[in-house]
Structure 1
Amino acid sequence: MSTQPIGIFDSGVGGTSIWKEINLLLPNENTVYLADSKNAPYGLKTKSEIIDLSIKNTEYLLKKNCKIIVVACNTATTNAIKVLRENYQIPFIGIEPAIKPASLNTQTKAIGILATKGTLSSELFHKTTNLYSSGITIIEQVGNGLVELIERGEIQSEAMKSLLKTYLQPMIEANIDYLVLGCTHYPYLMPLLLEILPKHVKIIDSGEAVARQTKFILETKQLLNKIPISANYEFYSNADTSVMKTLLNGDYTVEQLDF
């Protein structure tokens, strides 16, 4: 089983930011990445819709013989991972906003969280926030429109800059010193975020932590691939593949699916 691939799914191209971290830490692992871009963003859908889509994505990755599945989507994790773990034997790695490190390290006692509506309104998010929010001001902002622009490849557009300035201004006024990115699409906005935010604000995403957790679970389950191979990377999307190819920034083939 060790040479079977790691499966990764997201509501679109954003989870490739997670794939990059996993590939960096585990270059010997085969991977299958599934982008459900046709249904992006998940953050505007109901919980039952998110669960149904997550099950559909899981079933596809199981057909690809994956040994572990990374839910590289904050909204899918916070709304569906409990159901997935209850219904499938395969290990699942989830992702949620890195509130804990931001809350523990803030000096100004104010942090910002930029995420989708589906993540911010989820039970898991509220549980995590309540655990670490004592004595800290948390400014939550729904990133309406950001995923759609990223999915269209309009990362550096004026529309993107305008939205980000609007969303970040209340956080700047509240003197945040940490911004937590609560969507796997958002790391691709890092250049713009650094341009808009004051220099002292640190930006945290969950990619590296997810990669470390994936490695830990593979080691624990004795699924880590120790056979030296030239790793195989498969990328699939049910929408236009050009944006993913650009974001992957490498000589990778992205296959378009009717999915």
Structure 2
Amino acid sequence: MQITNPIGVFDSGVGGTSILKEIIHELPFEDTIYLADIKNAPYGERTPNEILKLSIKNTEYLIDRGCKLIVVACNTATTNAIDALRNTYNIPFIGIEPAIKPAALASKTKSIGILATKGTLSSALFARTSSLYTNDLNVIEVIGKGLVELIEGGKLQSKELLQLLTSYLNPMIAQNIDYLVLGCSHYPYLIPILKQILPENVTIIDSGQAVALQTKRILGKNNLLNQNQKTGTHKLYSNATTTVLKQLTSEAFQNKEISYLDF
């Protein structure tokens, strides 16, 4: 494996670009390849077996392109497939799961909200993590049904999205949460709207920076950090429309190339 090989990143759509931005910020000299599997989104509504098959398909494409490490930038794919991927392929994998631990440890009201997909909330990995840290907490879990589709559809500023989010957050606010954990890589794009709805004392936690730092740590541990002091290049592929991918990454980073790819 060459240290100059790219980092691979995949998600069920455009949401994983929120993770990709953090990785590029933390590792500016690394090349990346990003797969947005938009035609199969959202993974959260699929069966565990379907999620595993899609994750294998994405992984094998990225391995064929020479990726030295793969970031599963999708909570649902991580919680349903990452163990199998690690057992099958001989490269490092970084997963993403809801940041329950920091919220649970820091909560003063002993009440936290988790906004996630059905696929994440019903997974064994989520149940394992949750049981470790939330025994003495009031945890309000809400499935964010319809949110991914609205983000993928470029409707971040829509009235429909605001109304849907408000309906999901009101039960959490009523139970005095002081932390909201985002359990989907699409959801960081909702933070400006979440801040409009939530009381000021509620802290929003997503996993982006933690994933980027872990990616850096694992590359270093495996002697795979790119030593070239040259700004990385970034290839982003969508198997459906590229419009929203272009919108969400327009100002995020340079040296990028976005194209359609049938994968």
Task: Give me the TM-score of the superposition, normalised by structure 1.
Answer: 0.99
- Aligned-pair CA distance for 1:231: 1.2
The 5 A counterparts of 1:65-214 are: 65-214=66-215
Helix, strand or coil for the counterpart of 2:201? coil
1:258 and 2:262 aligned: yes
Q: Distance in 2 between matches of 1:157 and 1:88?
A: 41
- Aligned-pair CA distance for 1:184: 0.3
Helix, strand or coil for the counterpart of 2:236? strand
AA paired with 1:99?
I
AA paired with 2:49?
S
Q: Distance in 2 between matches of 1:49 and 1:37?
A: 15
Q: Is the 8 Å Cα contact of residues 108 and 176 (structure 1) preserved in structure 2? A: yes
Alpha-carbon deviations, 1:163-184, whole Å to 9, x = none? 0000000000000000000000
Q: Is the 8 Å Cα contact of residues 38 and 239 (structure 1) preserved in structure 2? A: yes
Alpha-carbon deviations, 1:130-151, whole Å to 9, x = none? 0001210000000000000000
Helix, strand or coil for the counterpart of 1:253? strand
Report how many aligned residue pairs link the two structures: 259
Q: Which moved more, 1:174-183 or 1:241-250?
A: 241-250
Q: Is the 8 Å Cα contact of residues 99 and 128 (structure 1) preserved in structure 2? A: yes
Unaligned 5+ residue runs, structure 1?
none
- Aligned-pair CA distance for 1:253: 2.7
Q: Is the 8 Å Cα contact of residues 12 and 151 (structure 1) preserved in structure 2? A: yes
AA paired with 1:233?
H
Q: Distance in 1 between matches of 2:19 and 2:222?
A: 21
Q: Percent identity?
A: 62
Q: Distance in 1 between matches of 2:229 and 2:202?
A: 41
Helix, strand or coil for the counterpart of 1:22? helix
AA paired with 1:185?
H
1:52 and 2:56 aligned: no
Q: Distance in 1 between matches of 2:229 and 2:207?
A: 28
Q: Distance in 1 between matches of 2:250 and 2:108?
A: 36
Helix, strand or coil for the counterpart of 2:231? coil
Q: Distance in 2 between matches of 1:255 and 1:64?
A: 15
Unaligned 5+ residue runs, structure 2?
none
- Aligned-pair CA distance for 1:230: 3.1
4+ residue runs over 4 A deviation:
none
Q: Distance in 1 between matches of 2:68 and 2:126?
A: 27
2:237 alignment counterpart: 236
Q: Distance in 1 between matches of 2:236 and 2:117?
A: 24
1:21 alignment counterpart: 22
1:223 and 2:224 aligned: yes
2:9 alignment counterpart: 8
Alpha-carbon deviations, 1:187-221, whole Å to 9, x = none? 00011000000000000000000000000000000
AA paired with 2:67?
C
Q: Distance in 1 between matches of 2:234 and 2:183?
A: 26
- Aligned-pair CA distance for 1:249: 1.9
Q: Distance in 2 between matches of 1:158 and 1:113?
A: 23
Q: Distance in 2 between matches of 1:249 and 1:168?
A: 29
Alpha-carbon deviations, 1:10-68, whole Å to 9, x = none? 00000000000000000000000000010000000000000000000001101110000
Q: Is the 8 Å Cα contact of residues 9 and 33 (structure 1) preserved in structure 2? A: yes
Q: Is the 8 Å Cα contact of residues 245 and 253 (structure 1) preserved in structure 2? A: no
